[in-house]
């Protein structure tokens, strides 16, 4: 099995996680068990890329994430993918919806901010619907600083199933 990179899940000190900006968030299943689905090989001849076939648990998570933008007033789910043992999200926070604003560090209290609340809500609602907790304790976030980075991360999310065997979260 591949050795996983060590990641400290420390929020950026002084950054207001409820302020305008875009965030790349990764949330993992506890012990990286492949509970959310499996990657299905595509067909190069027919130009069908690999895709993730969701399990029942993956469908519960997908239903929650698909409705998320409808209930948030100042946030939208820019893009997401559910992989076999983790979820990648782009969350865009905008007080005035319409244009992408890049994030910049400001003072704030991340524990009372929108991003942690979105992650906590997804974890708790999906775990209740499934009947038991499946998520690791924390999550990884990255502040998206400009439009080019936003596009690069969007592409990374789209191509994630095709690179599954090389992914740092890959398990058999």
CATH of the domain at 30: 3.30.70.1290
Most confident of 45-54, 80-89, 116-125: 80-89
Residue 43 has pLDDT above 90, yes or no: no
Is 11 inside any structural domain? no
Is 3 inside any structural domain? no
Is 8 inside any structural domain? no
Domain enclosing residue 32, as ranges: 21-163
Q: Which pLDDT band holds residue 111 (cuts at 50, 70, 90)?
A: very low
Q: How many domains would you assign to the chain?
A: 1
Is 132 inside any structural domain? yes
**How high is the pLDDT of residue 133?**
96
**How high is the pLDDT of residue 59?**
96
Q: What is the mean pLDDT of the chain?
A: 81
CB 4 within 8 A of CB 168: yes
Is 14 inside any structural domain? no
Residue 139 has pLDDT above 80, yes or no: yes
**How high is the pLDDT of residue 44?**
65
Is 169 inside any structural domain? no
Q: Which two tokens stand for residue 99?
A: 């244009």
Residue 69 has pLDDT above 70, yes or no: yes
Averaged pLDDT for residues 12-29: 79
Is 170 inside any structural domain? no
CB atoms under 10 Å from CB of 61, counted, come to: 28
Is 55 inside any structural domain? yes
Question: DSSP string covering 122-164, please?
Answer: HHHHHHHHHTS--B-S--EEEEE-SHHHHHHHHHHHHHTGGGG
């Amino acid at each position: 099995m591949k050795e996983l990179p060590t990641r400290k899940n420390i929020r950026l000190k002084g950054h207001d996680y409820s302020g305008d900006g875009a965030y790349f968030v990764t949330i993992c299943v506890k012990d990286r068990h492949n509970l959310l689905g499996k990657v299905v090989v595509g067909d190069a001849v027919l130009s069908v890329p690999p895709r993730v076939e969701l399990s029942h648990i993956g469908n519960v998570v997908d239903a929650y994430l698909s409705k998320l933008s409808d209930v948030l007033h100042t946030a939208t789910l820019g893009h997401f993918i559910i992989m076999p043992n983790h979820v990648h999200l782009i969350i865009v926070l905008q007080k005035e919806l319409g244009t992408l604003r890049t994030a910049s560090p400001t003072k704030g209290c991340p524990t009372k901010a929108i991003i942690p609340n979105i992650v906590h809500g997804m974890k708790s609602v999906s775990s209740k619907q499934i009947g038991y907790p499946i998520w690791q304790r924390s999550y990884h976030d990255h502040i998206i600083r400009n439009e080019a980075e936003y596009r690069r991360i969007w592409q990374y999310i789209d191509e994630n199933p095709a690179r599954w065997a090389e992914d740092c979260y890959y398990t058999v």
